[in-house]
């Protein structure tokens, strides 16, 4: 059983729309949750992390965590073409990270 699961997509949204990315995890001992953005051929870059139930907002990005249902999501408001990338969900358990396979997002101008 995979620790972290994501819909691989591709997900396409028009420019200006809200993109919604979802992630589920299997280990209830998971402590913190991260969303990374990865452009093709590049290393992942951190967008946000969250460790408490509820919402966390940072600019156009909102992370949502529901520990009871074991899912974490990322909303991107006012999507821009530059947001087109693969979004990786990661879960921190102890000193280790477990990554999902990523969701490919395309924002159509």
**Interacting residues toward other proteins by CB under 8 A:** 32, 34, 41-46, 49, 51, 88, 95-102
| CB-nearer residue toward other proteins: 4 or 19 | 4
Q: Is 81 helix (H, G, I), strand (E, B) or coil?
A: helix
Q: How far is the CB of 18 from other proteins (least distance, A)?
A: 25
Kindly report the length of the chain: 109
61-66, strands of its sheet edge to edge:
4-6, 19-25, 71-76, 61-66, 54-58
Which residue, 42 or 77, is less far from other proteins as judged by CB?
42
Q: Which is closer to other proteins, CB of 18 or CB of 53?
A: 53
């Amino acid at each position: 059983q995979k620790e972290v699961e994501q819909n691989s997509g591709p997900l396409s949204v028009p420019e200006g729309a809200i993109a919604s990315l979802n992630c589920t995890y299997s280990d209830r001992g998971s402590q913190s949750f991260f969303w990374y953005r990865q452009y093709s051929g590049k290393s992942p870059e951190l967008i946000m992390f969250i460790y408490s139930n509820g919402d966390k907002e940072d600019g156009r990005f909102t992370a949502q965590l529901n520990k009871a249902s074991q899912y974490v999501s990322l909303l991107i408001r006012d999507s821009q073409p530059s947001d087109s990338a693969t979004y990786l969900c990661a879960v921190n358990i102890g000193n280790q990270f477990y990554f999902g396979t990523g969701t490919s997002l395309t924002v159509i101008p």
